[in-house]
């Protein structure tokens, strides 16, 4: 350690520091623009000049090492005047309006830009905005040639894409041969955007600081259960499969099931999608879940018995997740399931060709293995019954097992079937009344599952009637794609309005729709086109337009005026003390991952209610040392998303054989290496700003 004097203040610091850092660390601000804590200092902008006793000239503090006994002055009148002149030069080719919120604006305000610019007319370079690259735009008229973007691209990421191009007054930042970023080898880490002080490089998507994490690392931040997708994708790229699996297991007890059926909001939001195609995050999860050596099992902690008993009604993803976490905290957990097997909608609603039963059974077995008791074929009539059996708290996760009717004349014809009941029957190997030509009403995952199942059950022709367009369909786009490949027809902008019974075939009177203004769901409302009625003939009509919960009479005291069980969205607490409710029962039909997220909230809230801290998650992995270097990667932006191996179409309709297969090791690693490593941008240090900002 050495001691130096800056503006009369004695500062103790390490001998490897530069004067600028020593000053900033002790609260003395020296204006700067080309300096950045993560980059080598070059002293290019010269704003950080200081006076040092015994040293000739005015050195830049970002390139001068501290010395024992050094005496530094940062704020003399001479320095202030010189900085104004330097800033004048920097801004002489900048548009008059500096972007507010840029570091440049803040530094200019601190130096005193207002007095300075009154007497000069800047002549901007008139460089056209470049906005045809993915993720960020380049407004090089605003570039002040500080070189931070070039240095982070060259020195830190080692991608070597950005450099100074042209000569003299035409010098600017660009790519070799002025190629578009995709062709110049850009890895789209957007580190250059992060460090640009003038906002010459800007994200295409504007965002508020509060939204920063969600916009810049969307895969991790859109997962309802908080799975760190960016981290496990990186670990797969590094071939650390058990670590990757443990990252997933830190957040959910069902990695495999999710690897098969998650509706992957992470993938929808993945930034690689803006470059070409999103990372196949779900398929990577499945790959790594299938590589499970159960190393995680020896790491998980199961607390000693707390003496508290919790009842969970419903063994779907919400109920079983809640059971898993509460059992790990030492509570005695009993899950009551009305059906003969556990799994809720994962078993009753999802067809086997999407989720093989052995996968479901394996992961439910892990829940039982830690001591959760699951009582199947066990209907619960009221919460009071459970309290009288000595349960301290109850989680209601009954799901939504009853289909909604359309409310149109004629739908009580026995040939009009409930989609969810059809799936439940077929999934439990019971008979379902499917034959001939089948029409399905709806646009969600249940409608697609019903349509694909009907084909497998021998229907000659299956058509989906949907009242909006493909764009508004809530079903997973890849499921829709597979349904079309298998021969399902979809009629868009069509709604049934009457069922005419009596004949050999059902006559479904439909009306054409057009899209009007957006409704509460944000999707454009379908509006009937008067006089456009037409008839669709069909042997069966299956309704898949939504589901509701069947709440036992003994729980009517928990219902709100609309007939739904109401629970606080933060804690899932119901109107009766000790009763919690979540999952589809409260939210309406949702995805498996959303139900898992609800189960976690319930576990935390119940643990707190019975005297615990509500801390349910545990670390199974320790943080890795990550390199910020990405290197040059040939054709990186053009690398295509890995296609999943699929069962041949002609084999599919013969039964319920699994349709999608797992990635091979090589394909999985190759796919994981397409990731943009968006998390690295969030680890870039903040540039030092003037104290007033
Ligand atoms: S684009 Fe931004 S970071 Fe790059 S040299 Fe110009 S001002 Fe500096
Ligand atoms: S590119 Fe990688 S880090 Fe970025 S959003 Fe996609 S998966 Fe996540």
pLDDT digits (tens, 9 = 90+) for 208-250: 999 999 999 999 999 999 999 999 999 999 999 999 999 999 9
Cβ of 184: how many Cβ atoms within 10 Å? 19
d(CA 169, CA 498): 74
**Segment among 161-170, 256-265, 598-607 with least mean pLDDT:** 161-170
Is pLDDT at 122 greater than 80 in this prediction?
no
Q: What is the mean pLDDT of residues 131-135?
A: 96
Q: How far is the CA of 146 from the centre of ligand 1 (A)?
A: 5
The answer, yes or no, to whether residue 113 has pLDDT greater than 80, is no
Report the 10 Å Cβ neighbour count for 65.
12
- Taking only the tens place, the pLDDT of each residue in 445-454 is 999 999 999 9
Q: Helices H, strands E: what count in the chain?
A: 26, 24
* pLDDT computed for residue 117 by the predictor: 54
- Residue owning the nearest CA to atom 4 of ligand 2: 678
Residue 277 in this model has a pLDDT that exceeds 90: yes
Residues 292-295: contacts with CB within 8 Å, 24+ apart? 292/242, 292/245, 292/255, 292/256, 293/242, 295/242, 295/245, 295/246
Q: What structural domains and CATH numbers belong to the chain?
A: 2-91 (3.10.20.740), 214-297+640-673 (1.10.1060.10), 301-401+549-609 (3.50.50.60), 402-546 (3.50.50.60)
Find the mean pLDDT for residues 444-473.
96
Whether residue 142 contacts residue 199, with contact meaning beta carbons closer than 8 Å, is answered with: yes
The predicted pLDDT at position 587 comes to 84
Ligand 1 centre from 197 Cα, in Å?
7
| Weakest-pLDDT range from 131-140, 371-380, 562-571, 654-663 | 562-571
Integer Cα distance of 395 and 320 in angstroms: 11
Q: For residue 402, give every residue at least 6 positions away whose Cβ sits within 8 Å of its Cβ, in sequence order, or none.
A: 418, 420, 547, 548, 549, 550
Which of 137, 218, 117 minimizes the C-alpha distance to 181? 137
pTM of the model: 0.93
Those residues whose C-beta lies under 8 Å from the C-beta of residue 156, and which sit 6 or more positions away, are 38, 39, 191, 628, 629
pLDDT of residue 421: 95
pLDDT at 488: 97
**Ligand 2 atom nearest residue 677's Cα:** 3
Output the CA–CA distances (angstroms, integers) from residue 626 to 61, 231, 349, 521, 660, in the order listed: 30, 10, 41, 41, 33
The confidence band for 102, taking pLDDT boundaries of 50, 70 and 90, is very high
Label residue 626 by pLDDT band (50, 70, 90): confident
Q: Does residue 271 line the site of ligand 2, with CB under 6 A?
A: yes
Q: Is the CB of 219 under 6 A from ligand 2?
A: yes
First to last CA, the chain: 31
CB atoms within 10 A of CB 521: 9
Query: What six digits make up the tokens of 371?
Result: 């001591």
pLDDT at 79 over 80: yes
Pocket test for ligand 1, best of 47, 144, 195, 199 (most atoms within 8 A of CB): 144
Work out the pLDDT band at 118, boundaries 50, 70, 90: low
What separation in Å is there between the alpha carbon of 270 and the centre of ligand 1?
26
Q: What is the band of 121 on the pLDDT scale with cuts at 50, 70, 90?
A: low
Mean of the per-residue pLDDT values for the chain? Answer: 94
- State which of 213, 215, 262, 279 you would mutate to test the pocket of ligand 2, scoring each by most atoms of that ligand within 8 A of its C-beta: 279
432 confidence band (pLDDT: 50, 70, 90): confident
- Label residue 116 by pLDDT band (50, 70, 90): low
Q: How confident is the model at residue 514 (pLDDT cuts 50, 70, 90)?
A: very high
Mean pLDDT of 675-687: 97
Residue 275 in contact with ligand 2 by CB distance below 6 A: no
Asked if 324 and 404 touch (Cβ cutoff 8 Å), the reply is no
pLDDT at 119 over 70: no
Instruction: Return the residue whose CA atom lies nearest to atom 6 of ligand 2.
Output: 270
Q: How far is the CA of 134 from the centre of ligand 2 (A)?
A: 14
pLDDT category at 332 given cuts 50, 70, 90 is very high
* pLDDT, position 320: 98
Asked whether residue 174 carries a pLDDT value surpassing 60, the answer given is yes
């Amino acid at each position: 350690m050495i001691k130096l004097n800056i503006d009369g203040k004695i500062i103790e610091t390490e001998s490897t520091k530069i004067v600028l850092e020593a000053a900033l660390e002790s609260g003395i601000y020296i204006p700067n623009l080309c300096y950045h804590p993560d980059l080598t200092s070059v002293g290019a902008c010269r704003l950080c000049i200081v006076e040092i006793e015994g040293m000739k000239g005015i050195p830049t503090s970002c390139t001068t090492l501290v010395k024992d006994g050094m005496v530094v002055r940062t704020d003399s009148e001479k320095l202030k005047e010189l900085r104004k002149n330097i800033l004048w030069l920097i801004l002489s080719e900048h548009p008059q309006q500096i972007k507010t919120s840029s570091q440049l604006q803040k530094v200019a305000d601190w130096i005193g830009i207002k007095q300075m610019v009154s007497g000069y007319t800047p002549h901007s370079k008139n460089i056209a905005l470049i906005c045809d690259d993915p993720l960020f735009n380049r407004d090089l008229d605003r570039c002040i040639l500080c070189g931070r973007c070039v240095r982070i691209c060259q020195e830190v990421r080692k991608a070597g894409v950005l450099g100074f191009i042209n000569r003299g007054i035409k010098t600017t930042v660009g790519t070799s041969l002025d190629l578009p970023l995709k062709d110049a080898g850009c890895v789209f880490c957007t580190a250059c955007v992060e460090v640009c002080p003038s906002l010459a490089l800007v994200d295409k998507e504007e965002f508020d600081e509060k939204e920063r994490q969600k916009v810049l690392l969307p895969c991790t931040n859109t997962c309802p259960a908080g799975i760190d997708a960016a981290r496990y994708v990186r670990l797969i790229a590094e071939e650390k499969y058990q670590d990757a699996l443990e990252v997933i297991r830190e957040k959910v007890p069902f990695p495999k099931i999710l690897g098969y059926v998650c509706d992957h909001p992470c993938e929808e939001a993945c930034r690689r999608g803006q470059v070409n195609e999103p990372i196949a995050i779900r398929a990577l999860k499945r790959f790594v879940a299938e590589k499970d050596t159960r190393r995680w099992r020896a790491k998980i902690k199961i607390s000693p018995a707390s003496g508290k008993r919790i009842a969970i009604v419903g063994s779907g993803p919400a109920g079983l997740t809640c059971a898993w976490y509460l059992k790990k905290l030492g509570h005695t957990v009993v899950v009551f399931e009305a059906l003969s097997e556990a799994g809720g909608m994962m078993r009753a609603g999802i067809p086997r060709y999407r989720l093989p039963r052995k996968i479901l059974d394996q992961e439910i077995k892990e829940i039982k293995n830690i001591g959760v008791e699951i009582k199947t074929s066990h209907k619960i009539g009221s919460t009071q019954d459970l309290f009288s059996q000595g349960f301290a708290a109850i989680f209601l996760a009954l799901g939504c097992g009853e289909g909604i009717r359309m409310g149109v004349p004629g739908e009580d014809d026995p040939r009009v079937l409930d989609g969810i009941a059809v799936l439940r029957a077929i999934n439990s190997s019971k008979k379902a009344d499917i034959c001939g030509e089948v029409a399905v009403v709806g646009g969600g995952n249940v409608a697609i599952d019903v349509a694909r199942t009907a084909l497998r059950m021998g229907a000659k022709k299956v058509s989906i009637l949907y009242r909006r367009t493909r764009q508004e369909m809530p079903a997973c786009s890849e499921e829709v794609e597979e349904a079309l490949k298998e021969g399902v027809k979809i009629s868009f902008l069509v709604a049934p309005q009457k069922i005419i019974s009596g004949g050999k075939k059902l006559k479904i009177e439909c009306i054409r729709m057009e899209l009007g203004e957006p409704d509460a769901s944000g999707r454009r409302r379908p509006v009937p086109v008067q006089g456009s009625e037409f008839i669709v003939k069909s042997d069966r009509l299956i309704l898949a337009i939504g589901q509701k919960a069947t709440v036992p009479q003994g729980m009517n005291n928990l219902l709100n005026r609309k007939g739904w069980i109401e629970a606080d969205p933060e804690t899932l607490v119901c109107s009766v003390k000790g009763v919690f409710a979540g999952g589809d029962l409260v939210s309406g039909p949702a995805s498996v991952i959303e139900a898992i997220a609800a189960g976690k909230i319930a576990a935390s809230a119940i643990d707190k209610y019975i005297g615990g801290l509500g801390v349910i998650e545990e670390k199974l992995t320790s943080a890795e040392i990550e390199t910020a270097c990405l290197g040059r990667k040939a054709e990186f932006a053009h690398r295509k998303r890995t296609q999943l191996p699929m069962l041949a179409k002609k084999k599919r309709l013969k039964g319920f054989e699994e349709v999608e297969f797992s990635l091979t090791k090589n394909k999985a690693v190759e796919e994981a290496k397409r990731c943009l490593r968006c998390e690295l941008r969030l680890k870039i240090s903040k540039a030092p700003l003037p104290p007033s900002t």
